[in-house]
Structure 1
Amino acid sequence: MGKKGKRSNSQNAAAMLESQTRPILELTYDDPLFAFAAHPTKPLLASGLATGYVYMQSYDDKALEDYSSAQREKEKLLLKEAAAKKVAAKDSDKTPLRFKVFNPQSQNDNDTDTTFKICWKTKRHKGSVRSVIFDSTGENLYTAGTDKVIKKANSETGKVVMKTGNLDINSNITKMITVPNKPFLVAGTETGDIHVFDTRTLKQLYKLDKVHGDSVNSIASMYGVSDYQFVSVGSTTLAHFDIRKGIITTSENQEDELLSVSFVDPTNCETAVVGMGEGVISRIKISRDNSVDAVISTLDDDASDCIWTGSSDGIVRKVDTKRGAVIETRMHNLNDEIGFLDLDYDYRLISAGMENLKIWSNREQDEDEDENENESDWSSDEEEVNEVSEDDKSDSGSDSENGSESESASESEDSEVSDAESEPESNSKRGPTVVDSEEEEPTPKPKQKKPKINPKQFKNSQLHEHGIRKFDDL
């Protein structure tokens, strides 16, 4: 996690842009949540805890959406009744619960609410779980812990089908990602190394030493250009590397910690955005002294230049990278840093910190919502947002079984990995650009979601005019 500044007027300014979109589900955890991942094709969530436990959880998204919508209507009626009686709605004991809240660690078989359930849970690692990731189909789940072991499990049953032996890893794994078109599992470590494993055998294929001088904080695949190329951030640098050839280029020292990286459009990888410790994403100041710990593409053609960011102040922001402006905020939890962002199978935003996780609605909200909606934060603490000062108005716009391991006895090795396929070099040497904050009105585009995995559909001829080539400056 990056640093967290005290709650400032920049948080108050965020209330100006606060979205009417609500969560449909909140999960709270007794133990710190260290990692989570959303299934690519089903309403499933995998969570990894500090205790080494892994939970697979399912949710009925349609029923949760309907519940939230019904509660919204009840609340609007309550507000009207309160206004007629000239009393504060929040003083009424009839205020409906806005969305459902569950604690996976306290769920049991006697729970009758079917909108959320535990599929399986297990003590997967001896130390804490550091990374959790599905493969592109969602059939398998990969987890890594401080025991320096990577395990591959069946997502449906939780049964371990394969695990690594004694790895040539001298530090803990911090981040893992998979690649849509190749059997690659790419892992970064606390010492700045990159390891690449074959997902079919969990044998190590490649190793890149000291890609960063410190911990690898985030990795993004460049499958839109080449399945062998990636960018990563760690310490104060960004690196562009090919797992077969090594580091292609490294940015200059940015004099600020780089915590997260993502592509605005993962299918062409022309523009990368980087979250920094001082509240900046690639020159765009979005929060004063609150680190940007997570960034992710919206994967939406209707907001093709936009990304989601999660900060240590507990606020999710939607940023238009072309205009260099925050256009929407969502209050996750002002007492919990946002360390993780993901999209579920139906493109709902998921935000999470160490204490809780929220799945946000993807339904269109009414534009004529009552102004009283913005009285308080949507998180359970209901902390009020103060009025915005004139100075900050300008700042915000510019700137299987419980307690036992369900492993299979089989640890036989699959066939040896074939030699890496040769890749055409015409596009592989052109690295991504990093977004600039120059303001320009975006061109309207049709409202159509981007597929989560759309490999090899390049747009190499349409170079982003606001990028900064070769990472000369972030």
Structure 2
Amino acid sequence: MFQNICAIPLDHDLFTQAIHAEEPIVSVGLSSGHVQTYRLPAGSSDDSDGDETLASENGFGHIETAWRTRRHKGSCRALAYSHDGAQLYSAGTDGIVKAAHLTTGQVAAKIAVPLDPGSGSIDAPSIVHALSPQTLLLGTDSSALHLYDLRALGPKAALKPQQTHHPHDDYISSLTPLPPTSESTSGFSKQWVSTGGTTLAVTDLRRGVMVRSEDQEEELLSSVMVTGLSKKGTSVGEKVIVGGGNGVLTLWERGIWDDQDERITVDKTPGGGESLDSLALFPAGVGPGGKVVAVGLGNGIVRFVKIGVNKVIGQLSHDELEKEGVIGLGFDADGRMISGGGKTVKVWGEKGPGDGSDEEEEAEFASSANGAKREHGSDSDDDSDEEMGDSSEDEKPAQKRKKRKRNKGKQQPGHGILGFSGLV
């Protein structure tokens, strides 16, 4: 289904990644507090004689490091592009959210996350999301969900939340906007689904937390919205797919939020399946057709699940050696899949004629790591924000993010532009 085009080595563990909606750009947030933005070679155009491979595969392209900086003390927990894609928001364990220009990385504004009212200490962010040009959503470890009005954001503005909700009893692990209804006049989402601990909740921009599910008795880690499904009976053809900590996807019908209505077992490991840490919906025109969700597992595997028939239809391995969890997963503007985990981000292109069957791919990844690819070394630089001091602590993302571990990390040499020629 996909073939690995290239691997981007990182100096520290990946904690989060963001993929630009309109340009071939991916940003990563690392356990060291660094934020790095890469520009990928443009995909081929529709009139390129059917060659849909990256230019770098033919020896002409390269991955450019647009900018790299030490953005946060501790780790960078969350990243999100602004609604227009012109800025990148990063949130770190220093309790600061920073808005930076996409092209230069220069900080344009900052937001201080409110302290944890229970302890009076920093309430580390767990997720950030630009809901619209006006609204920024920020979830934290204490289960707070802050809503900010971006119209008041500026270089010297001490921005405070307009609203704060607590939809869960645990940290917010995922957030998925619900598509606007036909009655919407703005065209922007005003409701969203969040997961935290063992519950799912729906929050409205004006009315606050509207509903909270029953206790699912399993940790809910990731979510994605799927529309355009078959409408049968009371089904509206829209479901939220949720990844759990025990290897099972649960399907939730829009408008019926008390409990899940279907389950798909993605991993049947004896004693409990691997955690489903990340989800991404195939864009139109990519893959075998129909509604397919890519699922990133805690053991470094990516599996593909077709919704409707509700079964696994293929898999590949992001990390064949270390088996680090796939905590970042998505598709870029050219339909290439980007997976992230451990100290590597990988770019995957669809297989073309003569590139081998999906059955061969599954057999290859099932045969352990004997054929693992060697990656290019990195030679990163040491530039950092002036206001940031040095810190020797790296935060290592756990398979289940609920318990984040602290690990000592050595500073590694940085890298500037990565050139990839003749990749296979």
Normalised TM-score (structure 2): 0.70
Contact kept? 1:332, 1:378, Cα under 8 Å: no
Alpha-carbon shift at residue 163 of structure 1 (Å): 0.6
Stretches of structure 1 lacking an aligned partner (at least 5 in a row): 1-18, 72-112, 385-400, 408-474
Q: Does 2:241 align with 1:286?
A: no
Q: Does 2:18 align with 1:37?
A: yes
Partner of 1:141: 88
Residue in structure 2 matching 1:237, options 199, 218, 224: 199
Deviations 1:111-131 (A, max 9, x none): xx8501211111111121001
Residue in structure 2 matching 1:262, options 208, 216, 224: 224
Summarize the alignment of residues 300-339 of structure 1 with structure 2, pairs less than 5 Å apart: 300=284, 303-334=289-320, 335-339=323-327
**Separation (CA, whole Å) in 2 of partners of 1:223 and 1:294:** 20
**Separation (CA, whole Å) in 1 of partners of 2:152 and 2:127:** 19
Summarize the alignment of residues 94-243 of structure 1 with structure 2, pairs less than 5 Å apart: 115-165=62-112, 167-168=114-115, 170-179=122-131, 181-202=132-153, 203-225=159-181, 227-243=189-205
Alpha-carbon shift at residue 61 of structure 1 (Å): 4.0
**Separation (CA, whole Å) in 1 of partners of 2:62 and 2:363:** 28
CA gap of 1:171–1:285, structure 2 versus 1, over 3 A, is same
Contact kept? 1:171, 1:189, Cα under 8 Å: yes
**Separation (CA, whole Å) in 1 of partners of 2:275 and 2:111:** 34
Partner of 2:383: 403
CA gap of 1:403–1:224, structure 2 versus 1, over 3 A, is same
Name the amino acid aligned to 1:332: H
Summarize the alignment of residues 76-95 of structure 1 with structure 2, pairs less than 5 Å apart: none
Residue in structure 1 matching 2:279, options 279, 292, 295: 295
CA gap of 1:166–1:261, structure 2 versus 1, over 3 A, is closer
Percent of aligned positions that are identical: 29
**Separation (CA, whole Å) in 1 of partners of 2:192 and 2:36:** 29
Alpha-carbon shift at residue 67 of structure 1 (Å): 4.7
Stretches of structure 2 lacking an aligned partner (at least 5 in a row): 45-52, 117-121, 154-158, 182-187, 230-235, 251-262, 373-380, 388-424
Partner of 2:390: none
Alpha-carbon shift at residue 330 of structure 1 (Å): 1.7
**Separation (CA, whole Å) in 1 of partners of 2:315 and 2:145:** 34
**Separation (CA, whole Å) in 2 of partners of 1:184 and 1:166:** 15
Contact kept? 2:19, 2:331, Cα under 8 Å: yes
Q: Does 2:41 align with 1:60?
A: yes
**Separation (CA, whole Å) in 1 of partners of 2:359 and 2:115:** 58
CA gap of 1:133–1:238, structure 2 versus 1, over 3 A, is same
Question: SS at the partner of 2:54?
Answer: helix
Contact kept? 1:39, 1:134, Cα under 8 Å: yes
CA gap of 1:165–1:382, structure 2 versus 1, over 3 A, is same
Alpha-carbon shift at residue 403 of structure 1 (Å): 2.9
Name the amino acid aligned to 1:198: D
Contact kept? 2:340, 2:346, Cα under 8 Å: yes
Question: SS at the partner of 1:376?
Answer: helix
Deviations 1:211-254 (A, max 9, x none): 11111100001133362211000100000111321111111111
Partner of 2:336: 348
Deviations 1:303-352 (A, max 9, x none): 34221111112111111121111112122114221111121111211111
Contact kept? 2:79, 2:90, Cα under 8 Å: yes
Alpha-carbon shift at residue 365 of structure 1 (Å): 4.1
Q: Which moved more, 1:140-149 or 1:194-203?
A: 194-203
Q: Which moved more, 1:339-348 or 1:281-290?
A: 339-348
Deviations 1:400-440 (A, max 9, x none): x8433178xxxxxxxxxxxxxxxxxxxxxxxxxxxxxxxxx
Residue in structure 2 matching 1:251, options 213, 221, 243: 213
Name the amino acid aligned to 2:279: V
RMSD: 3.0
Contact kept? 2:221, 2:276, Cα under 8 Å: yes
**Separation (CA, whole Å) in 2 of partners of 1:374 and 1:303:** 19
Question: SS at the partner of 1:361?
Answer: strand
Q: Which moved more, 1:25-34 or 1:168-177?
A: 168-177
**Separation (CA, whole Å) in 2 of partners of 1:58 and 1:368:** 28
CA gap of 1:305–1:114, structure 2 versus 1, over 3 A, is closer
Alpha-carbon shift at residue 201 of structure 1 (Å): 3.1
CA gap of 1:336–1:266, structure 2 versus 1, over 3 A, is farther
**Separation (CA, whole Å) in 2 of partners of 1:343 and 1:373:** 20
Name the amino acid aligned to 2:266: I
Deviations 1:84-142 (A, max 9, x none): xxxxxxxxxxxxxxxxxxxxxxxxxxxxx850121111111112100111113221010
Name the amino acid aligned to 1:313: N
Contact kept? 2:43, 2:334, Cα under 8 Å: no
**Larger radius of gyration between Structure 1 and Structure 2:** 1
Name the amino acid aligned to 2:54: E
Deviations 1:368-388 (A, max 9, x none): 65987666349995458xxxx
Partner of 2:395: none
Question: SS at the partner of 1:54?
Answer: strand
**Separation (CA, whole Å) in 2 of partners of 1:266 and 1:197:** 31
Name the amino acid aligned to 1:271: K
CA gap of 1:380–1:42, structure 2 versus 1, over 3 A, is farther
**Separation (CA, whole Å) in 2 of partners of 1:209 and 1:379:** 47
* Greater strand fraction, Structure 1 or Structure 2: 2
**Separation (CA, whole Å) in 1 of partners of 2:371 and 2:127:** 33
Deviations 1:258-305 (A, max 9, x none): 001110139998210000011000110010211111112213267342
Deviations 1:25-73 (A, max 9, x none): 21122211111111222221111111111111112144872454x69xx
